[in-house]
Amino acid sequence: MSKVTEVVSELAGPILQELGLELVDIEYVKEGKSWFLRVYIDKESGVDIEDCGLVSERLSEKLDEVDPIPHSYFLEVSSPGAERPLKKAKDFEMAIGKNVLLKTYEPIDGEKIFEGVLSAFDGQTIGLDVKVKGRKKNIEIPYEKVANARLAVTFS
């Protein structure tokens, strides 16, 4: 994590805790000539525009006080969306029974991209039910080999 995202995480923590919200992710990126600080928040019932506005207002005040970013940037506070990233062990535990897309650092059974229903997670291994040629198959993926993962929306 970069220095900026660490500081923002520390500043956002008490604000989010007070509001009953969870910090999902922080991105600090340059796009074109502009810098963006994106803070993704969530709660069990989902976040709305009022939650995002309140966090943005309070976090902006804290960022102005501490001033961890030496240049201008845009602060965006939003929900992680329907295809929420899975970053922490807790995220994987909460996603059991849901459709996910996983990418691994190295091939497993000749593949690096997997989509299916997360069937199990024990902190070390991810169980994933995938379809291979129309047949359901369970694949075990070591947690440390996951490069990135997210919920995947499916349309029936």
Domain boundary among 55, 78, 101: 78
Using DSSP's 3-state secondary structure scheme, residue 45 falls into coil
Distance CA(43)–CA(41), nearest Å, equals 7
Q: Where does residue 68 fall: left (phi above 0), alpha (psi -120 to 50 degrees), or beta otherwise?
A: alpha
Distance CA(79)–CA(107), nearest Å, equals 31
The tokens describing 135, both together, are 């047949």
The tokens describing 51, both together, are 């939650």
| DSSP letter (8 states) at residue 71 | S
Whole-model pTM: value is: 0.77
Give the structural domain span for 14: 3-78
- What confidence score (pLDDT) does residue 156 get? 63
- What confidence score (pLDDT) does residue 30 get? 94
Query: Is the C-alpha dihedral spanning 111, 115, 120, 124 positive or negative?
Result: positive
Distance CA(115)–CA(129), nearest Å, equals 8
Overall domain count for the chain: 2
pLDDT in tens, the chain (156 residues): 579 999 999 999 999 999 999 999 999 999 999 999 999 999 988 899 999 999 999 999 999 999 999 899 999 999 988 888 898 898 999 899 999 999 999 998 888 999 999 999 999 999 999 887 788 889 999 999 999 999 998 776
Q: Domain holding 121: CATH number?
A: 2.30.30.180
